[in-house]
Amino acid sequence: MESIHKTVLLNETIEGLNLKSNSVVVDATFGGGGHSLEICKRFPKVKIIAIDQDASAFEKAKSKFKGLDCNITFININFRHLKNLKDFGAFALGDISGIIFDLGLSSDQLENSGRGFSFMKDEPLLMQMQNSGKDSEKENPLSDEVTAYDVVNSWSEESLADIIYGYGEEKFARRIAKGIVEARSKTEIKTTFDLVKIISDSVPAVYRRGRLHFATRTFQAIRIAVNDELRVLEEGLKGGFEILKSGGRMSVISFHSLEDRIVKKFYKNKEKEGKAKLINKRIITASEKEIKENPRSRSAKLRVLEKI
């Protein structure tokens, strides 16, 4: 199945990197391949190192690159390991002139993964980002073990309330956590629809009729917990900055406040240390036209940093 993902802030992200014809770029969140593809079209001699922890992302997107004179290398790892990228022989230390982090969940993961990311489809409660491909689990030491099923069926009520509130900023976190614990005492919570029903029963009727789907924040929180996303982001930013050459730039697109706070803090600290400068003092957001064409871009925030 081909990728259906629509890339957010495409032009702004690439333009922010200030690439040259001989640049080496790390697409740390390859996903649907939108950023890498556009870079290939604009800069045919650029070398791209495309990274994704989901091996199926490459399979879905590789047809887009057919017929292009594009130097692209695919590596199946989590971007938290960027600092060790040289171990894969993809580049020489000091070569990297641009890094892209697009932190949004791709449409492919929402619609086609079968791993329970979407509350709109009845799927097993997995929510693991990493998918190393068929028969590769034993060979991959980075394979994730915790699933959303484990979280909702075994974590304490207090822990559930803490992550749903802390990672999802859900005001009804305690009610939802209590509902989960009560429901699992009767039967296992196996699918996304099982969980959606519990959330629905735990929140007020007026909340269920709100603009934002009532399950959004809880699903987000559990996904973040399963994939350790916030710590991964901190490690990825640090490792990416380490391998970036002087004058190189980092473009990061975040989609919720927790991510953006981490990115903003990291950028500010590097600026205070005299190791980097901010390219955009204010966050870059999607235009009205892009939001109309792709509603998921509404919450996107782009920040660009240059290493000194």
Beta carbons within 10 angstroms of residue 56's beta carbon: 19
Mind listing the pLDDT tens digit for each residue in 195-239? 999 999 999 999 999 999 999 999 999 999 999 999 999 999 999
118 vs 112: which has the higher pLDDT = 118
Q: How far, in Å, CA of 219 to CA of 7, rounded? A: 22
What is the spatial distance between Cα 165 and Cα 167, in angstroms, rounded to a whole number? 6
Q: Calculate ∠ Cα 88-229-227, nearest 5°.
A: 85
Evaluate whether 10-108+229-307 and 122-133+149-227 have a shared fold. no
Q: Where are the domains of the chain?
A: 10-108+229-307, 122-133+149-227
pLDDT tens across 43-52, in order?
988 999 999 9
Q: Is 1.10.150.170 the CATH number for 122-133+149-227?
A: yes
Tens-digit pLDDT profile for residues 149-193: 999 999 999 999 999 999 999 999 999 999 999 999 999 999 999
CA separation for the pair 91, 168 (Å, rounded)? 38
CA-to-CA separations, 96 to 38, 82, 85, 249, 258, in angstroms, rounded: 18, 11, 11, 9, 27
Q: What is the pLDDT of residue 48?
A: 93
In the chain, DSSP finds a helix count (H) and a strand count (E) of 13, 7
Q: How many other C-beta atoms lie within 10 A of the C-beta of residue 278?
A: 15
Q: If 0-12 CB within 10 Å is exposed, 13-18 middle and 19+ buried, where does residue 133 land? A: middle
pTM of the predicted structure, to 2 decimals = 0.89
pLDDT digits (tens, 9 = 90+) for 116-141: 999 999 999 999 987 644 433 333 33
**CATH superfamily to which 10-108+229-307 belongs:** Vaccinia Virus protein VP39 (3.40.50.150)
